[in-house]
Amino acid sequence: MVTKCHNVCRSRLCCFDSYKLQGSCRATVGEDECELYSLCEQLINENGGEVKTFIELDLKEFDSDRPDISTSEQMIEKDVFDAVSLESLYYLPI
């Protein structure tokens, strides 16, 4: 899954200031183009490199910048997200 995401996003990771492996291309490709790829920023880890595994992506997705959130609150957030995700699978056409 992460590999497929990288295949889609790789050419526009340079849109994000947090990506340290390449200079910014935002001025070259434009704001509109970079906005189309805004969700790709999840593939950049805290060191400015690329997320390599689904586990690393999953941990990053539920990482919170809010210092006042407790571990139990994070677990509840994750459980709610997982429950909603599983419920949405129920409605997928077979």
The helix or strand, by DSSP H or E, that contains position 2, with its residue range, turns out to be: helix 2-9
Q: What are phi and psi of 5, to 5 degrees?
A: -60, -45
**In contact, 14 and 25? CB cutoff 8 Å:** yes
Decide if pLDDT at 17 tops 80: yes
Sequence spans of domains, the chain:
2-61, 65-94
Q: The whole model's pTM is what?
A: 0.57
- Using alpha carbons, select from 25, 71, 63, 27 the residue that is nearest to residue 46: 63
Residue 86 has pLDDT above 90, yes or no: no
Q: How confident is the model at residue 75 (pLDDT cuts 50, 70, 90)?
A: low
Contact assessment for residue 44 and residue 50, using Cβ atoms and an 8 Å cutoff: yes
Strand partners, 60: none
